[in-house]
A and B are shown apart, each in its own frame.
Chain A
Amino acid sequence: MATQENAIEATQDPTLRVERVDDGLCLAFAGEWLVQGLLPSTEELRRNLAETPKPVAIRFDTSKLGRWDSGLVTRLIDLYRDAQAHSIPFDDAGLPEGARRLIALAFAVKPREGAARKQLRTPFVQRVGESAQDAWRSSVAFVTFLGEAALSMRRFATGRAKYLKSDVLQHVEEAGANALPIVSLISVLIGMIFAFVGVTQLRAFGAGIYTANLVAVAMIREMAPIMTAIIMAGRTGAAYAAEIGTMKVNEEIDALTTLGINPMDFLVTPRMLALVLMIPALTMYASLMGIIGGGIVGLSMIDASLVQYVQQTISAVTLGSLFTGLLMSVVFGALVALAGCQQGMACGTSAMAVGQATTHAVVMGIVLIVVSASLMTIMFINLGI
């Protein structure tokens, strides 16, 4: 029984026998020629084709051929090309009817001239140059967009912009209240980390109480604005790019334009306003949360009462610090919204393009935040604020 099964399997394995009959080649295909199976190599066959004396014809014997699919046909097509290259007649009479037709079909339409893309490796210098040009172009695009956004803002201020008030409120909620949980979590933890680092270092000088100053000043001046802006770049900036990009793919932006509604006024300005309005509020909230987080760690590690700690904190916070923190957050909010909306509006018309636009929006947002934070910090220090 077992041997019989083996015998059947053996006959089903695809085999290719090449025989010289008269002056031609006879190819005997047997067994099942399926894509899933391991098909025999055609190396020997190729050698035979190149051999001299050249075979005068190729014939086929498929009397023992079982089931077959594209696995067989692609081999035959390769063989047909080889045969043509060696100008050997290809006698397909022995092939199954279906295979003959499929081969004919594959050669029925000539490959379009120049349609096949050549895979050329561009030299390193050229690639560097091209990416430099790309970077330049995207900077120009961003500045152009900044100008358009400014014009749109003026139309908004003078009441000539077409937009939906309900849209603005929805964006305000999305960029404001809905961001509270994540902002709380991150700020409390950042405050705790700062306090922990501060306590361990300052205690050595017996100045543990100054942890309160460290946490308060760091949170209000730098950490709260930067962390909130980075959260908003990942959360809201990405959402803006994806929303507007998808609208672009769906021709929704075209639909607005044809109705004479400027997409800058209708989509971009409400989003920018929402984020610029909400981000200072979120930043203040983040500062408070950070100070509370720092307080929890500080009070548990240093020998100070709650009142002492609070007083120390209040004495550390100046109006100047609050002002610089809020000013920074407004700038960050505008940059994040601009990056998100600009990438959305510049999005291509495919699903992949939406993904790229979203990625670019986040990366660009974070880079802009960090670069502008450095510049502003240097500026404020030099101004003595």
Chain B
Amino acid sequence: MVTPTGNAQAHIEVRDLTMSYGDFVIQKNLNFTVRRGDIFIIMGGSGCGKSTLLKVMIGLKSPSAGDVCYAGEPFWAAAIARQEEMKRGFGTLFQAGALWSGMTLAENVALPLTQYTRLPAAEIRDLCAYKLALVGLAGFEDFYPSEISGGMKKRAGLARAMAMDPDILFFDEPSAGLDPISAKLLDDLILELRDSLGTTVVIVTHELASIFSIGNNSVFLDPITKTQLATGDPKELRDQSPNFEVRNFLMRGTAAAVE
């Protein structure tokens, strides 16, 4: 496990965050810090609000209280124009890839580039080919999303998320619906990207194998108390957390009940 050394400054800080749908509170009083270069796992049982937390972090859903700070700057307190600028530093891989189905893979990757850069068409084509090659999809530029498999869609989604060379990559359940080999390859790819580009990675997942093989920091959300139970290195939480729920989750329900 590679842990970034030295450069452990805070990149994302979640402060007193409360999220709700109408009157229904999903999670409250969330406080945690993601350091630059972390692979940060948001984990918890089904329905605890992991994906909602991700939506708040990437600016799709506003919180009912608290804020998310990027490099010290509060996101939700910022003006809309500034939020748009901040969002440009994010790349998001949605659960099923969320590729635009009316466009080819190359066009999917190219869209953010054509919108935000003034690169000539030839250069954009080269960039798209390069990003698709990074995720192992060289030669699939002219395929439509409906013509490729689920695993390939996720990788293409990753290529699109990386199009603008973001500072932070968000993943919503990257290994859901993938076979073990593809899931492992995706994990390796995430590690490789972090190590070579220094990208901070935030992953929503409950795949224990991924959590332990790539995560070096995490937060555990509990659906019963509706708040975080622990934050820290998932391996340390598994071995040392004073909280039974957390250990039990990380040991796949085999933790000893005695304290």
Instruction: Tell me the A residues contacting B by CB distance below 8 Å.
Output: 162, 164, 243, 246-247, 250-252, 254-261
Contacts and interface: CB of A to CB of B under 8 A. Distances in A.
Contact of B84 (A164, A247, A254, A260): A260
21 contacts: A162-B115, A243-B102, A247-B100, A250-B98, A250-B101, A251-B94, A251-B95, A252-B98, A254-B55, A255-B92, A255-B99, A255-B100, A255-B160, A256-B100, A257-B60, A258-B58, A258-B60, A259-B115, A259-B164, A260-B84, A261-B115
Instruction: Across the A-B interface, give the 8 residue pairs with the lowest CB-CB distance, nearest first.
Output: A251-B98, A255-B98, A251-B94, A260-B84, A258-B92, A162-B115, A259-B112, A260-B87
Nearest to A254: B60
A243 B102 CA distance: 9
Interface in B106-155: 111-112, 115-116
Report which residue of B59, B96, B98 has the largest number of chain A beta carbons within 10 angstroms of its beta carbon: B98
Interface in B143-186: 160, 164
A141 to B, nearest CB: 17
B100 A258 contact: no
**Which of A247, A255, A261 is packed against the most chain B CB atoms within 10 Å?**
A255
Given A162-B115, A247-B101, A261-B115, A255 B94 contact: yes
Interface of B: 55, 58-60, 84, 87-88, 90, 92, 94-96, 98-102, 111-112, 115-116, 160, 164
Contact of B59 (A247, A250, A258): A258
Contacts, number: 50
Contacts of A243: 102
B96 A258 contact: no
Contacts of A258: 58-60, 87, 90, 92
Contacts of A255: 92, 94, 98-100, 160
A257 B96 CA distance: 16
B176 to A, nearest CB: 13
- Residue of A247, A251, A256, A259 with most chain B CB atoms under a 10 A cut-off: A259
Residue of A254, A256, A257 contacting most chain B CB atoms (<10 Å): A254
Nearest to B160: A255
Given A258-B59, A260-B84, A251 B115 contact: no
Contacts of B58: 258
B94 A254 contact: yes
Given A254-B60, A254-B94, A260 B99 contact: no
B167 to A, nearest CB: 14
A310 B111 CA distance: 53
B160 to A, nearest CB: 8
A243 B100 CA distance: 11
Contacts of B164: 259
A252 B60 contact: no
Contacts of A257: 59-60
A258 B171 CA distance: 13
Contacts of B94: 251, 254-255
Contacts of B84: 260
Given A259-B111, A259-B112, A261-B115, A252 B101 contact: yes
Contacts of B116: 260
Nearest to B87: A260
A175 to B, nearest CB: 15
A258 B90 CA distance: 8
